[in-house]
Structure 1
Amino acid sequence: MQSAWSKRAELLAAEYVQSSVDPRNSPTVYGSVVEFVENYLSLLYRREVGKGRRVWCPQWWSHAEAVARLDAVWRAWEHLRLDSRTGLSVWFLDHADPHMSVLFDPHGPFQFCSTASGHSDEMPPLQLIATPSGLYKSP
C-alpha cells in the first residue's frame, strides 16, 4: 500500500509536469509563499533536523530572513516550472539548495529555534550606527 507521503510526492511531480505550459496563459500554482512552503517545500525537503547538523523553525514565518528567502524560492519555482527541460534543475541548483542550506545551517536565522522547543526570538538584529546625514547624495 502506498503511503500518504508517497502519494503526495507523486501528485507534486504530476503538478510540476502539468504546469509546464505557455507562461503567458499560466497563473501561479500557489497563491502565496505560505501555500508553497506548506504544500510543496515542506514535503519536498525531508531532512533530519536537530542534533546540531540542521535546524528548522516550525514558525518559519516569524523570521523576516526566512520569509524573504522562501518567497524568493517560491517565485523562482513559479517562473522556472514553466521550463519543461531544465527548469527544475536550475531551480534546485541556483535557488532552492543555496537558500535552504542557509536556512538549515545551525548558525543561520533559525539558530536558537528547534522542532522540539519551537520558535525563539533570541536572535537580535544586526547592530547599526546611524549613517551620517549627507554621506550619500541623492541623484
Structure 2
Amino acid sequence: MSTPADPGQAEPQFILYLDGEAYEEELRLLATWVHALLLPVYAREVTSAEPWCPRWWEHQEAIARLHGLWLAWQELTDPAAGPSGPALWHRDHLGAVMHELRSPSGPFAGCKQGSHRPKAVPVVEAF
C-alpha cells in the first residue's frame, strides 16, 4: 500500500469499502502485518480478561479496527510523518485499538485460547 507521501499512487482505501479480489489482497497484506509485526511486538498473554482469537480475520470488527491501525501505522511510520510519528501512533492508536479488541466484551469475547466462536450479532427487527 502506498502512503499519502507517495504522489504516484492512489490513496489507501479502508478495507470495508473493498470487495472481491481487492478485499482478499488487502486482507492478506493486513494479516502479514498483524502476524509479522503487531503480534510479535505488541501482543500480550491471552487471558479471559484479555482474549484474542486465533482466527481474528473471521471477526469483521477486528478486521476493521486492525486495518485502521495498520493504515495509521503506514502513515505515522513514514519518514514524512517526522521523528515523532511512531510515538503518535503508540499514543493515539495502538492502545485504544488493542483495548477494544481485547476487552472481555469485545469481538473476541466468546473465543478462548486456541478456539474461535463466531460473534452473536444483535437481532434487528424491521420497523
Instruction: Please tell me whether residue 24 in structure 1 is matched to residue 6 in structure 2.
Output: yes
Work out the number of aligned pairs and report it. 106
Q: In 2, distance between residues paired with 1:26 and 1:94? A: 28
- 1:25 is displaced (CA, Å) by 7.1
Change (3 A) 1:109 1:47: same
In structure 1, the partner of 2:44 is: 47
Alignment match, 2:74 = 78
TM-score with structure 2 setting the length = 0.73
What displacement does 1:23 show?
2.8
Unaligned stretches of 5+ residues in structure 1: 1-21, 133-139
Aligned-partner residue type, residue 57 of structure 2:
W
Q: Take 2:38 and 2:31, find their aligned partners in 1: how far apart are those partners?
A: 10
Aligned to 1:7: none
- Same amino acid, percent of matched pairs: 32
Per the alignment, do residues 39 and 25 of structure 1 end up closer, same or farther by CA in structure 2, a change over 3 Å counting? farther
**CA RMSD across the alignment:** 2.4
Query: Which residue in the other structure is 2:17 paired with?
Result: none
Matched, 1:56 2:52: yes
Query: Which structure is larger by alpha-carbon Rg, 1 or 2?
Result: 1
Cα shift readout 1:61-102 (whole Å, capped 9, x = no counterpart): 000000000000001100111124111111112111101101
| TM-score, normalised via structure 1 length | 0.67
